[in-house]
Structure 1
Amino acid sequence: MDFAQFFLILRARQRVLWITLATVVALTVAVSLLLPKTYKATSSVLLNFKGVDPVTGLTLPGQLLPGYMATQNDIITSKNVALRVVDSLKLAQSPAVVEQFNDATGGKGTVRDWLAELLLKKLEIVPSKESSVIEISFKGADPQFVAAVANAFADEYQKISIQLKVEPMKKASEYFSAQTKQLRDDLEAAQARLSKYQQEHGIVSVDNRLDVESARLADLSTQLVVAQGQAMEATSRQQMAKTGDAESPDVANSMLIQNLKVNLGLAESKFADISQRLAPNHPQYISSKAEVEKLRADLRAQTTLTSNSVSNNAQIMSQREGAVRAAMGAQKAKVLELNRTRDEMNVLMKDVESAQHAFDAVSQRFAQTKVEGSSEQSDISVLNPATPPTEASNPKVVLNVLLAVFFGTLLGLGLSLLAEFMNRRVRSERDLADALNIPVLGTMEWKTPARRRGKLAGLLPNRLRLN
């Protein structure tokens, strides 16, 4: 079927088309006028999730998640919010509403739940795609009522958002309060153990005492090294003094012994000269000999005295070395004891520091959660409150008529084609060629009066009737 055939069919069946279109439009207008008017009120709320929290000063990264807007939509359309709206508007206290509830449910359930379900069915939430604004719309027959319900949903949504944020903070605040008390007790116990340990060991400042004792130990170590050197030197001199007096440096360096040796040499020279000139019984010979013997005796006595002095000095040095060694051992034991005391005290101090850090952290968190739990600040604000609408949102007569014209035209075209296919007529040369399967050699116009056209049409076959 080409366009020419389609046009011929529409022209032949235009009565069906116009009747169908007129019927659809008439029915649409009648239904639109008979339907009750529905009013729609809209309240806009703004989600202020950008910036910082006015109480804690912290940023709000959790609200930037992709599912945040969907979560807010679910909160608004929750039954909890609807029940709050029912309570705020006192809808369940109306005798007429109670009577309607009894008629509709037979008294099963509660009025609050029934009203909440009805409100949620007429509630419409439209979040903005590119902003943080959510439109809360409610439909109904009363303009004042729909505006009040829309505003009630916005207010209760704001209140429940505060409650959802504050209640966890209150529970956390109670938990942190108990933890703060426990950690305070632990801190006091750790400080008591540290104080008791300091009192038992007489510790004022472990670090200063350790520094002094360590310096004393180092000094004794130096003195021990010096005493060991001196003792070794004194022992060597003692051994040399015992083996040979003349080889001993102490004997050789003694001025008295040197003078005695000089005097002995002079006396021996004088005695040798006298012994050559005088006889042994001569008084000068006897006197000179006695002088030499005396000087030799003095030299031996002084040498023996010097050797004994070296031995005594060696003993003194050995005793001094032993005393320094003993003092160093005692000092080392003292330093080790101080190290042990310091280590034990460091453990106690670490316990106190750990308890202090834990107590400070929990106290800070407790203060923050306590402030957040008592805050009534909300990140949701009403941007545009709903006002009673002046015009009904439904039914839309003009839109319904336009749709009726469109769909009535489509229906009329469909009925015209259906009527044509049920009673096919010859409308053009192509219809004749398709019906007889023979080529059309020519066409001829045949104009007949109206009274004869019916008779001629009856003579032709049904499928070859003229138009």
Structure 2
Amino acid sequence: MAAKTNTLSDELHEGESDARLIDLHRIFGIARRRRWWIVATVVIILVLTAVAYTMVPRRYMGTASIALDRRADQIIAGQSPNQELPTDSPTVDTAVEVLTSPSLAARVVDTLNLQREPGFGQAIDGPVLSPAAARSRAISKVQSGLAVKRTGLSYAIDTSFTWTDPKHAAAVVNALVDEYIASQRDTKVDSRTNDNKLLRERLSRLRDEVIRAETAEAQYRANTNLIDVQKDSTAVQQELSFLNTQLATAQADQAAAEARLRAARSGGGNAAADFGSPVIRGLRQQQAQLSAQRADLAGRYGPLHPDLAKLDRQYADVNNSIRDETRRTLAGLVADARVSAGRTSAIRSSLDRAQGGLQAGNRASVQLNELQRNADSARGLYQAFLDRYRQSVAGEGTDKSNASVISRAMVPGGPVFPNAAVFGAGGILASLLAAVGVVLLLELLESGFQNRRQVEARLHVPVIGTVPDLATIPGARISKRDPMAPANFLVENQGSLFSESFRSIRSALKIGRPDQVVRSLAVSSALPGEGKTTISICLARSAALAGAKVVVIDCDVRRRTFSRSVTNDTAVGLIEVLDGTAQLDKALLHDTASGAYILPQSNTKSMNYELVASQAMFSLIQSLSERFDLVLLDTPPVLPLAEARAIAAMADGVLFVTRWRKTPANASELAVDMLAREGAKIYGVALSQVNLKQQSRAGFGDEMSYYHRFKGYYAEAG
């Protein structure tokens, strides 16, 4: 690859390219340059849009709105056996599906007799269909034209039908709404009728079941003497509670009597006094008094006192009374113990009988309860069905649809399709998109370089000259058939922009200055027809007019483009000089217009391709470099011919020519790489045949982009 001679410039350009990913100025420039393509594309698309608008069939839309009731209205509370739920969001979505169902569309077709209408059941230009096929086709047409949607989050539904006839558009949607409301009402009426029939049948069976259950209950009560199980059970339980209390009391009394008896028997007469007998207590007191009197008399008068015997008799009588009373008390205690035991036994017997009766009643009540539950269940179910049946019968004739019409469809006054505004906006958008596509396609097909920034970024070689196309310079009138016309224009208009472009090349190469960069310069290009020969001639004349001694060598053995441009009658030329058959001075031609010298190709048929790339050619270039200030080598194209690369390597440097927007960038890049491999040193690139007007409109940032600002500095031909 060639050396990067303008590294700083490349880095600046790359940094700017990275910072400006979207170059609006460049986009605007491309649009200006392609403006006629854009205008033509826009006009064509808009015309096609207008034609399509006039040819598209008109379609009309009828729209009706219905609302779903949020509550289920009931004239009698709870009258509906199938209780309706409040309307919610899924209910609205279900209604939308019902409105678009085939069954509802079929009802509309039958109501309006659409199977016989042209466009619905019968094709306008087709064969006559059978009634079944016509009806099926009409249903499909109705469904395809329907548009049903919920209005936001409300309980309103908009139903639309689009058709070519405005009257049918309104009639179909109105019929659809009416059929929907009627179908909802009919569904409720049919449901109520079926419910009443089922309820009547069920009530007849339930009545028999209730009678059987109540009869079984009554018979069981009679057989078991259970009039009221709950009441009888409560009485028995109360009796048991009383007997238990009595038994506890009797047992306590018995225990007390037996305890007193045992105490009396174990303690003798003294123990009897402990049971509270007042007689014994009185006798005990008398005994104690008599004993005290006797002791007092015996101590005072001695044992022989006559009163002592009297006291002893009284004491003996008291003791006998105590014994008698004690026997009577023991007999009473025994009798009391026997009575208490008998009472306890009697109470226990009554308690046992009551408990046995309660157990038997409980066993009987279990079965009775089962019979009561069956009877109660049968009565409850029968009563529930009876209530529902009465409510359902009372609600007959009150059923209505849960939907109501908000607005009916009116016959539309204008079509909804095509819409002029929509078509216009769509046409404008389509035309703009098409224009953008055309511009993008043209830009993609245009593979050449458009400005110096692209050249330097791809080839890594600085652009040292931009040569304008003479046809785009104001006032420049030249013949396209004359190959020397550009060179003659340069001589005749040395103050023109065209001449200035070559002075820029000379300035970049420092031609005619003490620090001149090259003495021999090969002018090369990747492909034919890029303006390489014209640049060689014009650069030679420009340098010669500036006072430099210049010679141009035509190195293209095959086409001799340079030589045929200067003169077509040359007996000797480069090949004859190289093979030694002619002297150099005799082969040189003098350009009287500028003072430059030309070494052409002779008009002979000699095709010695090896000679132009030989050592003799290198020696000739060196010899001419010593005699002339500048030796220009007009080489063949680099890509197809190997001698072009060899000749370029013999020169001190190479001026690489690429045609503006024509030469593929890949071809130029490949040619530069091939020249570098041959050892050629490329000093710069010249962009040829640049269209001033397009470059100025594109605004790519080259010097030619600002031509309209500095054109006053040039004296163009008038």
TM-score by length of 2: 0.48
SS of 1:44's equivalent in the other structure is strand
1:345 pairs with 2:368: yes
Task: Verify the 8 A CA contact 2:466 2:690 in the aligned structure 1.
Answer: no
> For residue 40 of structure 1, what is the aligned residue in structure 2?
61
* Correspondence 1:54-453 to 2 at 5 A: 54-55=73-74, 60=85, 63-65=88-90, 68-92=91-115, 100=123, 103=126, 107=130, 109-163=132-186, 178-232=201-255, 246=269, 249=272, 253=277, 314-360=337-383, 375-411=398-434, 414-415=437-438, 439-440=464-465, 445-448=473-476
Task: Verify the 8 A CA contact 1:245 1:307 in the aligned structure 2.
Answer: no
Q: Highest Rg: 1 or 2?
A: 2
CA distance in 2, matches of 1:102, 1:368: 58
> For residue 288 of structure 1, what is the aligned residue in structure 2?
none
Give structure 2 stretches of 5+ with no counterpart: 1-25, 295-303, 305-315, 487-528, 531-661, 663-688, 694-718
Instruction: Identify which of 25, 31, 35 aligns with 1:10.
Output: 35
Cα deviation, residue 21, structure 1: 4.0
Cα deviation, residue 45, structure 1: 1.5
Per-residue Cα deviation, 1:352-397 (whole angstroms, up to 9, x for no partner) = 4444444455556666777788653333221110000111222234
CA distance in 1, matches of 2:234, 2:111: 76
CA distance in 2, matches of 1:111, 1:247: 133
Amino acid at match of 1:440: G
Amino acid at match of 1:447: G
Per-residue Cα deviation, 1:405-447 (whole angstroms, up to 9, x for no partner) = 443354456557767887x799987699799995325768451
Per-residue Cα deviation, 1:281-316 (whole angstroms, up to 9, x for no partner) = xxxxxxxxxxxx999999999987776666555544
Cα deviation, residue 86, structure 1: 0.9
Amino acid at match of 1:118: K
Give structure 1 stretches of 5+ with no counterpart: 270-275, 277-292
Per-residue Cα deviation, 1:120-161 (whole angstroms, up to 9, x for no partner) = 111122322232322211111221111010111112222334
Task: Verify the 8 A CA contact 1:246 1:252 in the aligned structure 2.
Answer: no
Task: Verify the 8 A CA contact 2:42 2:435 in the aligned structure 1.
Answer: yes
> For residue 53 of structure 1, what is the aligned residue in structure 2?
72
Larger fraction in helix: 1
SS of 2:405's equivalent in the other structure is strand
Task: Verify the 8 A CA contact 1:433 1:440 in the aligned structure 2.
Answer: no
**Cα–Cα, structure 1 residues 102 and 328, in superposed 2: closer, same or farther, change >3 Å?**
farther
**Cα–Cα, structure 1 residues 351 and 97, in superposed 2: closer, same or farther, change >3 Å?**
closer
Task: Verify the 8 A CA contact 1:29 1:397 in the aligned structure 2.
Answer: no
Cα deviation, residue 39, structure 1: 1.4
**Cα–Cα, structure 1 residues 304 and 109, in superposed 2: closer, same or farther, change >3 Å?**
same
Cα deviation, residue 82, structure 1: 0.2
SS of 1:440's equivalent in the other structure is strand
Per-residue Cα deviation, 1:33-87 (whole angstroms, up to 9, x for no partner) = 23332211111122333xx32115788456234xx44332221111011001112
Cα deviation, residue 95, structure 1: 9.4
What value does the CA root-mean-square deviation take over the aligned residues? Answer: 5.2
Q: Identity over aligned residues, as a percent?
A: 21
> For residue 279 of structure 1, what is the aligned residue in structure 2?
none
**Cα–Cα, structure 1 residues 295 and 312, in superposed 2: closer, same or farther, change >3 Å?**
same
> For residue 577 of structure 2, what is the aligned residue in structure 1?
none
Per-residue Cα deviation, 1:204-255 (whole angstroms, up to 9, x for no partner) = 3334433333333333333334444444555566678888984574999485
**Please, which moves more after superposition, 125-134 or 219-228?**
219-228
CA distance in 1, matches of 2:256, 2:690: 158
Task: Verify the 8 A CA contact 2:188 2:400 in the aligned structure 1.
Answer: no
CA distance in 2, matches of 1:413, 1:234: 131
SS of 2:353's equivalent in the other structure is helix
Instruction: Identify which of 51, 58, 61 aligns with 1:30.
Output: 51
Higher relative contact order (CA 8 A, sep 6+): 1
**Cα–Cα, structure 1 residues 25 and 341, in superposed 2: closer, same or farther, change >3 Å?**
same
SS of 1:41's equivalent in the other structure is strand
**Cα–Cα, structure 1 residues 85 and 227, in superposed 2: closer, same or farther, change >3 Å?**
same
CA distance in 2, matches of 1:27, 1:239: 139
CA distance in 2, matches of 1:229, 1:421: 127
Task: Verify the 8 A CA contact 1:127 1:133 in the aligned structure 2.
Answer: yes
**Cα–Cα, structure 1 residues 215 and 429, in superposed 2: closer, same or farther, change >3 Å?**
closer
Task: Verify the 8 A CA contact 2:236 2:354 in the aligned structure 1.
Answer: yes
Cα deviation, residue 200, structure 1: 2.5
**Please, which moves more after superposition, 405-414 or 245-254?**
245-254
Task: Verify the 8 A CA contact 1:237 1:248 in the aligned structure 2.
Answer: no
CA distance in 1, matches of 2:31, 2:280: 161
**Cα–Cα, structure 1 residues 36 and 242, in superposed 2: closer, same or farther, change >3 Å?**
closer
Task: Verify the 8 A CA contact 2:146 2:162 in the aligned structure 1.
Answer: yes
**Cα–Cα, structure 1 residues 101 and 109, in superposed 2: closer, same or farther, change >3 Å?**
farther
Amino acid at match of 2:161: F
SS of 2:141's equivalent in the other structure is helix
CA distance in 2, matches of 1:220, 1:433: 129
CA distance in 2, matches of 1:200, 1:425: 118
TM-score by length of 1: 0.70
**Please, which moves more after superposition, 211-220 or 173-182?**
173-182
Task: Verify the 8 A CA contact 1:9 1:417 in the aligned structure 2.
Answer: no
Task: Verify the 8 A CA contact 1:425 1:465 in the aligned structure 2.
Answer: no
CA distance in 2, matches of 1:299, 1:174: 102
